[in-house]
Each structure stands twice: as structure tokens, then as C-alpha cells.
A and B are shown apart, each in its own frame.
Chain A
């Protein structure tokens, strides 16, 4: 069973004006599709890895469960497929976004002091990731929330990588230039600020609830 490009949960133009429709179209149908294609091609010779499922494949990056000659390809493309699948779902129509509430809000306040302070830390992680990568808000092994950034298509599920902050992601932001260049060019901080307008806090809450039980929702 091959991995497939998931449909976007909304139209390409739904996140306008914060994330433009041309970017969403290219990002989904070209970039994410390429990760899916490359992952499938790499796993063709290793059907037992395919059976692990996408989350588990990400978790075994950096361990000897991945054969040497495909380890990097799986890290890059298995990471890319998970990251983008996760990303589309933590965004929504800007008219839907209300900010965090309930248990996840309490957890944010406990870890960072306030939602604003969490955003400031997240923005710094996103702006400060040099080159390509992602910023993440996630649940650590001890149940607390933390923020980290990862290079390229790595993510905090890849606990065995050196320098990893193992977490179950509940919110993430793509800061590869392809995620924002058509509309924002070099102005990454402007993209980051605008992106908060499309965060799907309901999905973040669901991700949080699952993460607290040790599960990774996908």
C-alpha cells in the first residue's frame, strides 16, 4: 500500500490573504507530492518499513531500523510527508480561528506564562531557523509543552537524532522559503505574524489531548 497525497481540508484560496492560493497550490501539488513520490519509491524495496506507517517511520529515523542506503531518503521524504500532512491540518479558514482554550491554553500558560509569551518564543524559533526547516510547539516526554525548531524536513518525532528535542508536535510552521516566498519574499517575520491568523486551534487541542496520552494524531 503506497502513501498518498492527502487532500487539503479546504480550498487553495481559503487561507488568503495570509497564505496565498498560488503558494498553497504549488506547496501541496508539487512539494508535498514530491515527498510522497520519493518516499514511496524508497520504500518499494522495503515493504516491511511501509507497514510501519508514517508516524513510526519518522520515529525510527536515526536508528538502525532504517537500512543505510535509504536512511537519508526516508528521513527527508518521510519527514516531509509527515510534516506537510500535519501542517495542512493545523491551519484553517481565518474566520474560524479563536485562539487556544481549555486544557491546551492552561498548558501554554503553565509552560510560557501566557499565550503571547508562547507566540513570542515560537516566532523567535521560526525566524531564527537558518536555512530551511520548521518551528514546533509540542508535548515533551514529561508532559510539558516546549518549543523547538528543526532543520530541513526533520521533526521532533525523530527522537534518535542528535540535538533532537523529542516531542509530539501539536502545532508546527513550515519556514522553508517555498512556504512563503511568492507572497513575502525575504520577509519571513511578516509571514510568521500573518500565519497566526490561520491557526486551527481545535486541531491543536485534539493534537494536545492525544499527545498527553502518548499518541500521535495524524
Chain B
């Protein structure tokens, strides 16, 4: 029996499982662990706007720890083997989150965050998304102002979000700690992490500068537009 099989997926989607059989047994027992997905760019690719050192800690330590801790928590429980999204929703438990939620939601949030950025990002959206921003915020400049304000006014740790409903209407929100609009029935299309670990190495207390850089230099508007289109399907 091929007990040494290992499926290494190079193009993972959030929640993809790695199948790892136990050795030394006649029957293969499959245990599935959720994976830490790499950002879609090298860890130094966002320089000088977000340093390699930040990515090494933020992805390599913080995000990795959320994945490892979540996997430890769900091993052998009914959540073992479920997709990441299922684990997030189940552990949210209708607003009385279980200990799994902080880890699972942070796994999801961080993958969503990496994918919201790209090297040479920023600039402006185009097409239907640009029209919706102008319609729902008044102008792109006004959107940028309000998105920045959401990030600035999330006291303590948390996230700021741009969401779309299935009619294409846009809204901003901010959440504390690990909370994600997904559990509030919303469809996020863009996020920025405002936990201090996201920016402290690069700009220390200067969260306003971090947010300006994120908006002007890092946002992957192509991905945001794809998510926007998907929200209306």
C-alpha cells in the first residue's frame, strides 16, 4: 500500500486540505489538516510599502500560528475535515464564539488580506466597481477617506472592510479582533488588517501612514473587482 503519498498542492484555495495517511497500518486512516496558504507573491515583493520583515513575521509567525492552533483545536472533533469557511461559521456559534473561532477566523482573514494586495498595487478601480464606488461614496476620494477612517477608528485590534451585497451596493465596516463580516451575513471584497502587528515594524504607532500606503500602493483592485462581480452572482 502506498503509505507515503502526500498531496502537495501548489495552487491552494483557502481551506484546501492536505491528505496525510498514517504509516504502519494496513488500512489508511486519513487525517486532514487545513493548510497555511502562501501569499500570491514573494515575501519581499511588497517592498518598500510593506517590508519583507513584516511579511516574515505576519505571515510566517502570526498567520502560521493561527493555522497550527486551529488544527490542534479541531483535531478529532466534528470540525476536523470541514472546510475553513465551515469551521469559521460553526465556531462563530451564532455570536457566542467557541475558542476555535479566534484562530479559524484569523486564518481566513489573513488569507483574504494577502490576496487583497499585490506588488505595484494601489491606483484606482475601473469599470462597474468604480461606478459603484462613485455612486455609493460620492467619489473615489471620499471612499478612500472613509475607508481610512474606518481603519483608524477601530480601537485596539481589528480590521476594516469594504463589503458588497448581492445587488452590488457597497458598504464599509470595521470589526474587532478576529470578527469578520462573513459571520454577519455580509460579503467582504477588500480588507486591511489594523492589528498593530500589521504595521508596527514598518511605521510603529503611525497607523494613518500605514493606511495611506495600503490604499495608495498595495490594494489589488483586480482581485477586488473579481470579488465584487462574484458577490452579485
Q: B-contacting residues of A (Cβ < 8 Å)?
A: 26, 30-31, 34, 72, 76, 130-133, 151-153, 176-178, 181-182, 185-186
Contact A186:B196 (CB < 8 A) given known A30-B205, A31-B205, A130-B178: no
* Interface pair B200/A177, CB less than 8 Å apart: yes
* Complex Cα gap A176–B195 (Å): 9
B41 interface hit (Cβ, 8 Å): no
In Å, the complex CA distance between A182 and B62 comes to: 15
CB distance A131 to B200 under 8 Å?
Answer: no
B109 CB, nearest partner CB in chain A, Å:
13
Number of interface residues of B (CB under 8 A): 19
- Binary flags per residue of B136-174, CB closer than 8 Å to A gives 1, else 0: 000000000000000000011110000000000000000
Is there an interface contact between A131 and B205, defined as CB atoms closer than 8 Å? no
- Which A residues are in CB contact (< 8 Å) with B73? none
B134 at the interface (CB under 8 A from A): no
The number of inter-chain residue pairs (CB within 8 angstroms) is 54
Q: Once the chains bind, are B156 and A131 in contact (CB under 8 Å)?
A: yes
The answer to whether B200 touches A182, judged by C-beta atoms less than 8 angstroms apart, is yes
A23 to B102, CA, bound (A): 27
* Whole-angstrom distance between the Cβ of B71 and the nearest chain A Cβ: 18
Q: List 24 A-B contacts (CB under 8 A).
A: A26-B204, A26-B205, A30-B204, A34-B205, A72-B155, A130-B178, A131-B157, A131-B176, A131-B195, A132-B196, A152-B156, A153-B156, A176-B156, A176-B196, A177-B157, A177-B195, A177-B197, A178-B200, A181-B197, A181-B200, A182-B200, A185-B57, A185-B201, A186-B57
Q: Which residues from chain A contact B157 at a C-beta distance below 8 Å?
A: 131-132, 177
Asked whether B65 is an interface residue with its Cβ less than 8 Å from the other chain, the reply is yes
Q: Which residues of A contact B195 (CB under 8 A)?
A: 131, 177
Chain A residues positioned under 8 Å from B178 (CB to CB): 130-131
What are the residues of chain B within 8 A of A181 when measuring CB–CB?
A: 196-197, 200-201
- A185 B204 Cβ-Cβ under 8 A: no
Q: Name the residue of chain B whose CB is nearest to the CB of A31.
A: B205
Q: B177: CB under 8 A from chain A?
A: yes
Say yes or no: is B61 at the interface (Cβ < 8 Å to chain A).
yes
A186 in contact with B201 given A131-B176, A152-B156, A177-B196 (CB within 8 Å): no
Residues of B within 8 A of A177 (CB): 157, 195-197, 200
The residue that A178 contacts in the complex, of B61, B65, B196, with Cβ under 8 A, is: B196
Query: Is the CB–CB distance between B102 and A185 below 8 Å?
Result: no
Task: Find out whether the CB atom of B61 lies under 8 angstroms from the CB atom of A131.
Answer: no
Cβ of A28 to closest chain B Cβ, rounded Å? 11
Known contacts A130-B177, A131-B176, A152-B156: A182-B204 contact under CB 8 Å: yes
Are the C-beta atoms of B205 and A178 separated by less than 8 Å?
A: yes
Residues of B near A31 (CB, < 8 A) are 205
Complex Cα–Cα for A94 and B65 (A) = 32
How far, in angstroms, from A30 to B177 measured CA to CA in the complex?
A: 23
**Chain A residues, Cβ within 8 Å of B62:** 186
| Bound CA–CA A107/B176 (angstroms) | 36
Take A31-B205, A76-B155 as given contacts and tell me if A131 and B177 are in contact as well, using a CB distance cutoff of 8 Å. yes
Is A152 touching B204 in the complex (CB atoms < 8 A)? no
